[in-house]
């Protein structure tokens, strides 16, 4: 029986890729941020990118065939710049005190810390 082609709403080039070298494996590892479980190994950085893109295409097709949820690419998501965090009261107090010592708002202080 021939394999049926299923339409996938997101294109592979819309996803966020990362390649890192693994000294332990002596290989480059291609990763997709939106799919933490996917990886591909290769001897060069360029090959790792090609390989992880191939793996992603196969993964997208499999999810579509199964009717499973396909993660939206980060490139399509809308970001407002607003982030709501839940902290322990003691951490909130400590951060507020540190911001006060620096003479900045708590929001500005947390932004600085996250940027580091």
pLDDT tens digit string along 98-114? 999 999 999 999 999 99
The mean pLDDT value of the chain amounts to: 91
Secondary structure of the chain in the HEC alphabet? CCCCCCCCCCCHHHCCEEEEEECCCCEEEEEECCEEEEEEEECCHHHHHHHHHHHHHHHHHHHHHHCCCCCCCHHHCCCCCCCCCCCCHHHHHHHHHHHHHHCCCHHHHHHHHHHC
Confidence of residue 5 (pLDDT cuts 50, 70, 90): low
């Amino acid at each position: 029986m021939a394999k049926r082609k299923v339409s996938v709403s997101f294109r592979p080039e819309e996803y966020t890729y990362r390649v890192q070298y693994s000294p332990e494996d002596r290989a480059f590892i291609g990763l997709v941020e939106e799919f933490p479980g996917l990886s591909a190994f290769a001897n060069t950085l360029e090959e790792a990118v090609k390989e992880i893109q191939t793996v992603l295409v196969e993964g997208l097709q499999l999810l579509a065939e199964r009717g499973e949820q396909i993660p939206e690419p980060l490139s399509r998501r809308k970001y407002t710049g607003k982030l709501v965090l839940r902290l322990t009261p003691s951490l909130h107090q400590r951060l507020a005190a540190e911001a006060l010592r620096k003479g900045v708002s708590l929001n500005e202080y947390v932004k600085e810390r996250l940027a580091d």
